[in-house]
Amino acid sequence: MPQLRSLIALLLTFSAVAAVASAAPPAPGPPEFLVTGVVYCDTCRAGFETNVSHSLKGATVQIECKHFESQEVHHKAEATTDAWGWYKVEVGEDHQEEICEVALLRSPEADCAEIERSRDRARVPLTRNNGIKQSGIRYANSIAFFRKEPLKNCGEILRKYDLYDDSSENP
Ligand SMILES: *[C@@H]1O[C@H](CO)[C@@H](O)[C@H](O)[C@H]1NC(C)=O
């Protein structure tokens, strides 16, 4: 049995090395993390996505990576959301000991451009030692600009969300 185990270990090591080799990009350089997430308009100023919130195309976010001990800023970049509200930012492998934070910068919609402190940012850990080993993609929580005036039917909508929390009955 020990022999079988070491054979399996050897095979696993070999296939891992092969996988790394075949997945390696043509250009040299360490692999990167891809930080991605959604920017939406919180039309009810609810603090969460509702059925009347919508994703924002052309919103600008800033990503900032700080070393988690020294708090030194190592990486700063801007990104703009695509047609579905998603932004994507590449961050180098050398940012493993950092926490990156995505924050709202500019909204494409004048009536949905309010920034609520603390709700305007999402943190993304970039370490590879947290059990999420394979993929370099890191999903940040959705962040939202607040609509200046909540939509007229927001009261009704939010009440429905409350009902869903309290019981599993139909609304
Ligand atoms: C959102 O949900 C509310 C409550 O369930 C409903 O009355 C409303 O029609 C929905 N709006 C949309 C755009 O789906």
Q: How confident is the model at residue 8 (pLDDT cuts 50, 70, 90)?
A: low
Give pLDDT, residue 126. Answer: 80
Give pLDDT, residue 171. Answer: 46
Q: Residue 59 above 70 pLDDT?
A: yes
The token pair that represents 128 in the structure block: 């590879």
Instruction: Return the biggest CA–CA distance within the chain.
Output: 70
Angle value at C-alpha 133, between 129 and 136, nearest 5 degrees: 110
Verify whether ligand 1 is closer than 6 Å to residue 51 (CB atom): yes
Between the CA of 157 and the centroid of ligand 1 the distance, in Å, is 6
- Taking residues 94-123, what's their average pLDDT? 91
Q: Residue 87 above 70 pLDDT?
A: yes
pLDDT single digits (tens) 23-58: 544 454 555 788 999 999 999 999 999 999 999 999
Buried b (16+ CB within 10 A) or exposed e, 143-153: bbbbbeebeee
Verify whether ligand 1 is closer than 6 Å to residue 159 (CB atom): no
Mean pLDDT, the chain, whole residue set: 81
Give pLDDT, residue 67. Answer: 85
Between the CA of 50 and the centroid of ligand 1 the distance, in Å, is 9
Between the CA of 158 and the centroid of ligand 1 the distance, in Å, is 10
Verify whether ligand 1 is closer than 6 Å to residue 157 (CB atom): yes
pLDDT single digits (tens) 127-157: 766 555 556 888 999 999 999 999 999 999 9
Integer angstrom CA distances of residue 145 from 54, 59, 78, 137:
10, 9, 17, 24
Give pLDDT, residue 9. Answer: 60
Between the CA of 45 and the centroid of ligand 1 the distance, in Å, is 16
Which ligand 1 atom is nearest residue 156's CA? Answer: 4
Give the residue with greater pLDDT, 18 vs 160: 160
Closest Cα to atom 10, ligand 1: which residue? 51
Between the CA of 34 and the centroid of ligand 1 the distance, in Å, is 34
